[in-house]
Amino acid sequence: MIKLANINFKDPLIIASGIVPLNKIKEVCEKYNPSGITTKTLTLYPLSPHNPPTLVKFHDKCYLNAIGLGNPGIQELKKLEEINCPLIVSIGGNNLDEIVESARKVDRGIILELNVSSPNRKGYGESLSNYVHEIVKNVKGVTDKPVFVKLGPWDNVLELAGKALSAGADGLTLINTIKGMIIDTENFEKILHYGTGGISGKCIHPLAVRIIHDIYREYNVDIIGMGGVFDGRDVIELMSVGAKLVGLGSVIIDEGYNSILRIRKELEEYLNEKGLKYSDIIGLAVKR
């Protein structure tokens, strides 16, 4: 059992935002029973995805995506059938009012995740982070749910995390993708139609480890960690630097939902072999 934001979770494995479409959530919950499923980031109004290609595998276990927060809009949350898995509702927007209005409409889920870090649509990511304190304060004013703020692996992430926490955030989700670009050397065109995209998967794993470590050391706060988790050892590694829950993203794109079962088994084997519990591992590698 793991306690995060005063909620008990059976194990650390959840699914990160942007991986399960709303209409698949029930099926994924029933078949794979993750400890939590995060919705795609939902905005007040529907957004069309960018033109394809929007997702490319550029290296073993590494992806670049520019879906651009394409989503059916927050009102679709109402159509989601009842599920037996804890639901984390991710919301975004391109200004304070839109985000607060979306937060007000969230009547499902156990955690509200504020995505202020998408690198794939102008106005919905890094530029918002300047207002993170104001956004969190206002969202906390319209919801009773614990609010987790999702940040990207930027140089000022420690400072932004501090602003989010001082405004009342209950925890942080770390890390979102970081902007990259790949070029086709046959025709010298950018491979993604949008030009840039968010890097995810193994290629950002050490970045996730470093950022979770630094934020946990500084603030000792509840963290949902993610970034390049492909096996049980990766989960343990993120927990050892302070993550309580760990999100699976690119691994599911790479291998399918069965990766949840494989990683769960690897975790159980690790704990049995070492005679450890999850609570023994959280923050173990962080020296204060």
Ligand X SMILES: Cc1cc2nc3c(=O)[nH]c(=O)nc-3n(C[C@H](O)[C@H](O)[C@H](O)COP(=O)(O)O)c2cc1C
Report the catalytic residues.
118
Give the separation between CA 72 and CA 256, rounded to whole angstroms: 23
Residue with tokens 């046959």: 186
Q: What's the min distance (Å) between Cβ of 288 and ligand X? A: 26
26 is in an annotated binding site: no
- Amino acid symbol at 152: G
The residue among 29 and 88 lying less far from ligand X, judged by its C-beta, is 88
Closest residue to ligand X, Cβ-based?
18
Among 20, 25, 40, 140, binds ligand X (CB under 6 A): 40
Helix (H) or strand (E) holding 79: none
| Residue 193: closest CA among 80, 26, 51, 72 | 51
Q: Is 102 in the site for ligand X (CB under 6 A)?
A: no
Q: What's the min distance (Å) between Cβ of 151 and ligand X? A: 10
Beta bridge partners of 171: 148
Among 94, 102, 177, 259, binds ligand X (CB under 6 A): 177
What is the CA angle 284-204-53, rounded to 5?
150
Q: Is 16 in the site for ligand X (CB under 6 A)?
A: yes
Q: Is 43 in the site for ligand X (CB under 6 A)?
A: no
Q: Could you tell me which residues come within 8 angstroms of residue 130 by beta carbon, excluding any fewer than 6 positions away?
A: none
The residue among 22 and 272 lying less far from ligand X, judged by its C-beta, is 22
> Which of the stretches 16-24, 93-101, 133-141, 209-217 binds ligand X when contact is defined by CB under 6 A?
16-24
Cβ pair 276, 45 in contact under 8 A: no
Give the separation between CA 231 and CA 251, rounded to whole angstroms: 9
Among 47, 67, 85, 103, binds ligand X (CB under 6 A): 67
Residue with tokens 């494989």: 262
Residues lying near ligand X in the complex (CB under 6 A) are found at 16-18, 40-41, 55, 63, 65, 67, 69, 90, 115, 118, 150, 176-177, 200-201, 204, 226-229, 249-250
